């Protein structure tokens, strides 16, 4: 049975999608069966692993509102080595439509139940908001990975996210834990980065992943080729860091019982 993790941070542009796509590819490289769910109407994760969001038949929107099953909406990202439940701008309408639904925060959990035994890991790329979509991700996850840039405002936003996770844990999903904080787009030459990084370690101890993802142009270039960074330029510093991170992540959470 798959372990489910969401990649969340309500701040925009902090490396959620880059982390989700490269973690999925890194896990697939070591033989894990991975499903990546794109839960963002921007569809960046979808495009980033080589699926054209404009031509897909079904996407996660149809799944959430009950027009299609997860099984019939999942597509294979052949070059990336894993499956994807894609998204596009259709998804922007889901939040409004779902307001009328009963148990609207559980729609994703219900929808993926039928495919959970086909994967070792399911990763969910969240949108940059603490919205109903993110709540759906938090309600079906075993844990949360929080990518963050080491800058002052990053810490401010973190407490809102941690509080939301605590609330969800208390009221909706008692299994939910923070797996770890991942320092991304790190620039060791900046004193502020070092300081924030040290503060994070002080406050969150071993919840902070040891692996640090450097700022690396190859990671930023990869999406335009529709290939995860870890496969686009395997020798780049960014690719190596994400492979180390995938290994650290698997060590931290363990393999699913059936694997």
CA distance 51 to 251: 29
Nearest to 77 by CA among 46, 119, 110, 31: 46
Scanning residues 9 to 28, which ones bind Mg ion (CB under 5 A)? 16-17
The two structure tokens encoding residue 32: 């894990």
* Residue 12 touches which of Mg ion, ligand ATP, none (Cβ within 5-8 Å per kind): ligand ATP
Between 72 and 160, name the residue whose CB sits nearer to ligand ATP: 160
Among 23, 22, 31, 18, which residue's Cα sits nearest to residue 4? 23
Identify whether the C-beta of residue 257 lies closer than 8 Å to the C-beta of residue 122. no
Q: Determine the Cα–Cα distance for residues 96 and 132; give it in Å rounded to an integer.
A: 9
Q: Which stretch binds ligand ATP (CB under 6 A): 52-60, 107-115, 155-163, 213-221?
A: 213-221
Contact between 44 and Mg ion by CB under 5 A: the answer reads yes
- Least Cβ distance, residue 50 to Mg ion (angstroms): 16
59 binds, among Mg ion, ligand ATP, none (CB under 5 to 8 A by kind): none
Under the binding rule (CB under 6 A), the answer on residue 226 touching ligand ATP is no
Under the binding rule (CB under 6 A), the answer on residue 188 touching ligand ATP is no
Site string for ligand ATP, 122-161 (x = CB under 6 A): ------x---------------------------------
- Rounded to a whole number, what is the distance in angstroms from the first to the last CA of the chain? 8
Query: In terms of Cα–Cα distance, which of 199, 200, 186 is closest to 149?
Result: 186
What is the spatial distance between Cα 168 and Cα 118, in angstroms, rounded to a whole number?
Answer: 26
Q: Which residues bind ligand ATP (CB under 6 A)?
A: 12-18, 40, 42, 44, 128, 184-185, 213, 215-216, 219-220, 223, 238
Q: Which residues bind Mg ion (CB under 5 A)?
A: 16-17, 44
């Amino acid at each position: 049975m798959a372990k489910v993790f969401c990649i969340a941070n309500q701040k925009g542009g902090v490396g959620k999608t880059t982390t989700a796509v490269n973690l999925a590819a890194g896990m697939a490289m070591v033989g894990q069966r991975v499903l990546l769910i794109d839960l963002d109407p921007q569809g960046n994760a979808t495009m980033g692993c080589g699926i054209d969001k404009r031509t897909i038949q079904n996407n996660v929107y149809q799944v959430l509102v009950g027009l299609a099953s997860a099984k019939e909406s999942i597509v294979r990202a052949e070059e990336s080595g894993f499956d994807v439940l894609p998204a596009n701008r259709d998804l922007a309408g889901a939040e409004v439509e779902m307001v009328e639904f009963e148990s609207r925060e559980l729609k994703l959990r219900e929808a993926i139940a039928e495919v959970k035994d086909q994967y070792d890991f399911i990763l969910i790329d969240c949108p940059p908001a603490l919205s109903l979509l993110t709540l759906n991700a938090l309600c079906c996850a075993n844990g949360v990975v929080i990518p963050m840039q080491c800058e002052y405002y990053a810490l401010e936003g973190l407490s809102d996210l941690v509080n939301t996770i605590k609330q969800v844990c208390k009221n909706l999903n008692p299994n939910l834990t923070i797996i770890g904080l991942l320092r991304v787009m790190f620039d060791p030459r900046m004193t502020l980065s070092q300081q924030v990084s040290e503060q994070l370690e002080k406050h969150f101890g071993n919840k902070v992943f040891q692996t640090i993802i450097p700022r690396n142009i190859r990671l930023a270039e990869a999406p335009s080729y529709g290939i995860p960074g870890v496969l686009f330029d395997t020798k780049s510093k960014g690719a190596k860091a994400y492979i180390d991170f995938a290994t650290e992540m698997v060590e931290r959470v363990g393999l699913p019982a059936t694997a």
